[in-house]
Amino acid sequence: MATGKRQFRDMEDDVKQKISQSLKNRGKSSEHAQKISDSMKRYWKTVPPKPKPSDEESSGVI
């Protein structure tokens, strides 16, 4: 019974490769690119900056 619908979750590797190739070099709409940008800006605001070593720690003085 070939309905064209997926029967199982797993796909053959050659099918995955064909899908991957068809999606390569596809552009994103300006709206989609802006949403990605906004999302990444929100994400990076939650990541704290790397602490800089202070002079006391780097000189070995306790």
What distance in Å separates the CA atoms of residue 52 and residue 45, rounded to the nearest whole number? Answer: 18
User: Taking Cα atoms as reference points, which of 21, 19, 23, 39 lies closest to residue 31?
Assistant: 39
**Kind plus residue range of the DSSP H or E element containing 17:** helix 13-23
The answer, as to whether pTM is greater than 0.85, is no
State both tokens at 23. Answer: 């999606």
What pLDDT does residue 60 have? 58
Q: Could you read off the pLDDT of 6-18 as tens digits, one per residue?
A: 677 788 899 999 9
With CA atoms as reference, report the closest residue to 41 among 30, 31, 33.
33
